[in-house]
Structure 1
Amino acid sequence: MRPVIVVHGGAWAVPDALAEVSVAGVKAATRAGNVTLMRGGGALDAVEVAVRTMEDDPAFDAGHGAVLNTDGEVELDALIMEGRTLATGAVSSVRNIANPVSLARAVMEKTNHVMLSGKGANLFAESIGVPTLPTHALVCEQERKEWEQYKNYDIGVKELFRAQWAHDTVGAVALDSCGNVASATSTGGIRYKMVGRVGDSPVIGSGGYADNRSGAVSCTGHGESILKVTLARLILSHMDRGKAACEAVERSLRYMGERVQGGGGAVAVAPTGDWTACFTTERMAWAAIHGGILHYGLNPREKFKETLK
């Protein structure tokens, strides 16, 4: 089985000022995940590494680049899942944790639960020795300026999402040489969200899903819309019925647009190695590595290739 990794940096109206760093960021994350796969690591390790890379990159709305809620604070959500046993871990409304995707994996591996939220998630992190950062550590200066400029939530979440200052989720899917798939998704949510607001990213079947029998998906876009149609599971239901990854994602995104008028995107990989990165928003930075070729893009129907050295 040839390993595959596919990464996205969020489906939204990425402004030109962030275009180059967003593409560079997803390429770096994909390479990091691919190194893990090439060294014999599993799909779960690969997606965690890829997402951690983006959580550490202030170009993305996750970890160090996360947007601020109404109180000017960072609240983070993340999900990770592996397809062999359907083991899953998730955290929501987490504060002061640099890499919530790794905390989500700890929930999966060290507790009997699937999701921990808020204070409970932070107490769990403390109990297992996960470093807690100072409150200001995850707030980048540019985000503080954006928050000050746009702290008016009256126009509604969908209008915020369509604007070029909305930002969005990061995620990754992978298939390893043993035929196992995995998915991970992480986000800081949407700027000026209500305190405690949780979108699709940490919700199994919405923000992501992984099953060796059908494939792995990581979703991105308008969280409330994704939740309403359980987008990740919807995509895999089409793949279960024999649809190619690209067609499954396109059909599901089209349904979400028609049914609840929501935009978004997803990356997906099938057990056969068939993969895709599709979106209905203005842009989505994405990258994939398969068979020694790095594929990447940002604009609709854009696909560039580089041979790995």
Structure 2
Amino acid sequence: MNPVIVVHGGGASNISKDRKERVRQGIIRAATEGYKILKDGGSAVDAVEGAVTVLEDDPEFNAGCGSVLNVNGDVEMDASIMNGKDLSAGAVSAARGIANPIKLARLVMERTTHCFLTDQGAAKFAAAMGVPTVPQEQLVTERNLKRLEKEKHEKGAFKSDCEKNLGTVGAVALDHNGNVAYATSTGGIVNKMVGRVGDTPCIGSGGYADNNIGAISTTGHGESILKVNLARLTLFHVEQGKTLEEAADLSLGYMKAKLKGLGGLILVSKAGDWAVKWTSASMPWAAAKDGQLHSGIDLDETSVANLP
């Protein structure tokens, strides 16, 4: 199989021109890193973890360093990863003081008999696995301190949670052996309740991977995505013979009509086709296949470049 990777940087709106360029470069770096892993013979799981790690380390994105803050001004992060070869999966929620929750999610997948660890249990497991902790301040950005202050001030005055454009990062990949995988990571929603868990760590909502169908990673309003099981719903439509674009339009359209929930998703099929779709204002994304890198942020905006 010709390897493929697609990454997304979550929903976005009103991005300033300078920030838009930083976001674009960040998403391109993540896709390039993931594609390099695939070209060097790495697995789909290696590639999605590598790409998402790049985004978690980039303060422009709502994951890892750059995560939004909860009501107490703290960072609580969620992440999940899945291997389409055997449906093995790992997830963490309410993770604190860890630079790369996606790496911890992979350890849950590969080093435990469980799928999902949360809060103190996730912290104890991370310590047992030798995962280094980082000070809370290292994960908090000035931009997110201002966002929390603004959200507390405006609560109830503007758009509902369903209508906000919300951030998550994710990746899907197909490797040389025909295996697919997904990874998704987020800091959640600004001003969320302590302990709130969204769709990102929930298998079937924040993402899904099955070699018989393909892989998907989602972004958007977590509560809406959870209620419709967005990831698995989209892959169900693919199983029923819909194209990737049709499947994405059907599931995102259903979520918007039923719940007014906005979102986006990236998909790769078992044959190596890929798609990106969203109903939010915009969604930073990039896809690498056959030595070419496709990327965009706004609707009807795609640039193509040759990869080195």
Structure 1 segments, 4+ long, off by >6 Å, are none
CA shift in 2, pair 1:78/1:23, >3 Å: same
Alpha-carbon offset, residue 148 of structure 1: 2.3
Give 1:295's aligned amino acid. Answer: H
Q: Considering only aligned residues, what root-mean-square deviation do their CA atoms show, in Å?
A: 1.5
Match of 2:221 in 1: 222
Letter in 1 for 2:118: S
* Deviation of 1:107 (Å): 0.4
Structure 2 length normalisation: TM-score?
0.96
For 1:89, the equivalent position in structure 2 comes to 90
Q: Are the equivalent residues in 2 in contact too, given 1:161–1:167 (CA < 8 A)?
A: no
Between stretches 298-307 and 194-203, larger displacement belongs to 298-307
Distance in structure 1 (CA, Å) of the matches to 2:209 and 2:91: 14
**CA separation of 1:140/1:236 partners in 2, compared to 1, >3 Å: closer, same or farther?**
same
Matches within 5 A, 1:214-293: 214-293=213-292
Match of 1:15 in 2: 15
Query: Residues 137-183 of structure 1, C-alpha deviation per residue, up to 9 Å, x if partnerless?
Result: 211122122222322474299625645xx641000000001000000
Aligned position for 1:3: 3
Q: What code does the residue aligned with 2:44 have?
A: A
Partner AA of 2:192 in structure 1:
K
- In 2, are the aligned partners of 1:14 and 1:283 still within 8 Å (CA)? no
| Deviation, structure 1 residue 22 | 1.3
Q: Equivalences for 1:1-309 in 2 at 5 Å?
A: 1-17=1-17, 18-152=19-153, 154-155=155-156, 159-160=160-161, 162-163=163-164, 167-309=166-308
In structure 2, the gaps of 5 or more residues are none
Moved more, 21-30 or 224-233: 21-30
* Deviation string, structure 1 residues 245-294 (Cα, Å, up to 9, x no partner): 12111111011111111110000000101100110111000000011110
Instruction: Please tell me the residue identity of whatever aligns with 2:78.
Output: D
Are the structure 2 counterparts of residues 43 and 158 from structure 1 closer, same or farther at C-alpha, using a change threshold of 3 Å?
Answer: farther
**Unpaired segments ≥5 residues, structure 1:** none
- Give the Cα separation in 1 of the matches to 2:157 and 2:85: 40
Q: Report the 3-state secondary structure (helix = DSSP H, G, I; strand = E; otherwise coil) of the residue aligned with 1:282.
A: coil
Q: How many angstroms apart in 2 are the aligned matches of 1:223 and 1:158?
A: 15
Do 2:162 and 2:261's aligned partners in 1 also have CA atoms closer than 8 Å? Answer: no
Alpha-carbon separation, structure 2, partners of 1:161 and 1:287 = 25
CA distance in 2, matches of 1:210, 1:146: 33
Q: How many residues align?
A: 307
Corresponding residue SS for 1:123: helix
The share of aligned pairs that are identical, in percent, is 52
- Hey, what's the Cα distance between the residues in 1 that align with 2:84 and 2:188? 25
Asked whether the equivalents of residues 161 and 190 of structure 1 are also in contact (C-alpha less than 8 Å), the reply is no
Distance 1:106 1:308 in 2: 31
Shift of 1:92: 0.3
